[in-house]
């Protein structure tokens, strides 16, 4: 296996990969915010509960990614 391929496989565990995951999760939060707003306007309790649970999952995911980012510290895979 080449060195470049092994670095690419480690991207998910790198700072760059973690930042990309945080950005993707934050982008998903925009959709959940729209669903929350629409559910409140329509007074749809079931969709409101679903969107709230999704929002809690996003917050938890961001917290886990932040913890992973702090844990990585200077041990970045891509920096060698």
**pTM exceeds 0.85 for this model:** no
Q: Mean pLDDT over residues 65-72, rounded?
A: 87
Q: Mean pLDDT over residues 30-40, rounded?
A: 95
10 Å CB burial of residue 79 (0-12, 13-18, 19+) is: exposed
Rounded-to-integer distance, Cα 39 and Cα 51, Å: 8
Q: How many residues in the chain?
A: 80
With 50 as the cut, is the pLDDT of residue 22 above it? yes
Instruction: Report which of residues 7 and 28 the model is more confident about.
Output: 28
């Amino acid at each position: 296996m080449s060195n470049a391929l092994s670095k690419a496989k480690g991207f998910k565990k790198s700072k760059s990969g973690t930042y990309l995951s945080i950005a993707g999760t934050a982008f998903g939060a925009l959709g959940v915010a729209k669903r929350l707003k629409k559910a409140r306007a329509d007074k749809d309790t079931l969709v409101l509960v679903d969107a709230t649970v999704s929002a809690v999952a996003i917050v938890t995911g961001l917290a886990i990614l932040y913890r992973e980012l702090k844990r990585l510290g200077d041990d970045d895979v891509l920096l060698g």
